[in-house]
């Protein structure tokens, strides 16, 4: 019953994340650990996606729920491999091509910079930092592009600081500043619209 999906592919797990109901998710997690196999926990809870291809990490990032992201991360580390965390959580794209980080740049409200700090600490390999920062959505936009389009200066500043640390100078120029989306727009094009 707890793993049944509605017409939008949402389980109780997804709905709890959307509503920020950490205590409900905690109960589901405890139940799952007692009643499900490791494979079921991975595929029906942690990595489960709704009809839009969003995991609970996408939903927590969208609603700026840092506490929930941290708890989900701790649960994921208990049950899935570092490779799956990187590829199926951090770099997982929804049906619009958005990672949790891109979705946070587009939708989040109050503590979005804390979400970026959270995401920045999570990759398990050095290359994952670059992949996460430079991941593009279905429109070819990175979180950098999305933040510029949404005029979120604080997010742009955090991404800039992060980019200077993990990218080589030529990568900052070519893969960030001069990078274009699928319509040929750079961050500057999006910022002035």
- Lookup: tokens for 67: 């506490």
> pLDDT tens digits, residue range 11-43?
888 888 888 888 988 999 999 999 998 888 888
Q: What is the mean pLDDT of residues 39-56?
A: 88
Contact residues for 165 (Cβ-Cβ < 8 A; gap 6+) = none
Q: Which of helix, strand or coil describes residue 66?
A: helix
Task: Tell me the C-alpha distance between 159 and 109, whole Å.
Answer: 16
pLDDT at 27: 92
> pLDDT tens digits, residue range 58-89?
888 887 777 888 888 888 888 887 778 777 77
Task: Tell me the C-alpha distance between 69 and 56, whole Å.
Answer: 8
pTM: 0.68
Percent of the chain with pLDDT over 90: 9
Q: What is the mean pLDDT of residues 104-132?
A: 63
* Ordered domains of the chain (ranges, CATH): 12-191 (1.25.40.20)
């Amino acid at each position: 019953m707890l793993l049944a999906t509605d017409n939008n592919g949402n389980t109780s797990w997804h709905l709890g994340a959307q509503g920020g109901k950490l205590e409900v998710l905690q109960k589901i997690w405890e139940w799952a650990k007692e009643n499900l196999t490791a494979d079921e926990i991975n595929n029906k809870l942690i990595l489960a996606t709704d009809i839009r291809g969003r995991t609970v990490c996408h939903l927590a990032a969208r609603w700026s729920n840092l506490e929930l992201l941290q708890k989900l991360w701790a649960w994921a580390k208990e049950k899935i491999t570092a490779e799956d965390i990187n590829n199926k959580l951090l770099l997982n794209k929804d049906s619009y091509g958005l990672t949790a980080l891109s979705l946070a740049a587009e939708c989040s409200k109050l503590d979005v910079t804390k979400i970026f700090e959270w995401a920045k600490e999570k990759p398990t390999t050095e290359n994952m930092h670059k992949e996460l920062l430079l991941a593009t959505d279905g429109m070819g936009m990175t979180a950098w592009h999305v933040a510029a389009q949404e005029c979120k200066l604080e997010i742009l500043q955090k991404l800039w600081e992060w980019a200077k640390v993990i990218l080589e100078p030529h990568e900052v120029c070519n893969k960030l500043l001069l990078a274009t989306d699928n319509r040929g727009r750079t961050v500057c094009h999006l910022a002035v619209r």
